[in-house]
Amino acid sequence: MKLLIFLFAIFVLVAADWKPRSREQYNKDGDECFKSENISERAIHGIRKHVFTDESKCFFRCVLMKNNVWDDTTGCNVERVYKEVTHIGLKASKDGLTQCNSDDKKDKDPCQWVNNIVRCVFEHNYIEPNY
Instruction: Please indicate, yes or no, if residue 2 is contained in any of the structural domains.
Output: no
What whole-number percentage of the chain has pLDDT above 70? 87
Residue 28 placed within a domain: yes
Whether the predicted pLDDT of 12 surpasses 60: no
Long-range contacts of 80-87 (CB under 8 A, 24+ apart): 80/18, 80/20, 83/20, 84/20, 84/21, 84/26, 85/127, 87/20, 87/21, 87/22
Asked whether residue 80 is domain-assigned, the answer is yes
Domain of 123, CATH number, reads 1.10.238.20
Grade residue 17 by pLDDT with cuts at 50, 70 and 90. Answer: confident
Residue range 18-71, pLDDT digits in tens: 999 999 999 999 999 999 999 999 999 999 998 888 889 999 999 999 999 999
The mean predicted confidence, pLDDT, of the chain is: 88
- What pLDDT is recorded for position 16? 63
Residue 12 forms part of a structural domain: no
Q: Would residue 8 count as lying in a domain? A: no
Instruction: Convert the pLDDT of each residue in 58-69 to its tens digit.
Output: 999 999 999 999
**Is 10 a domain residue?**
no
Check pLDDT > 80 for residue 72. Answer: yes
Domain count, the chain: 1
Domain ranges, residue 97: 20-129
In a domain, 47, yes or no: yes
Instruction: Judge whether 45 lies within some domain.
Output: yes
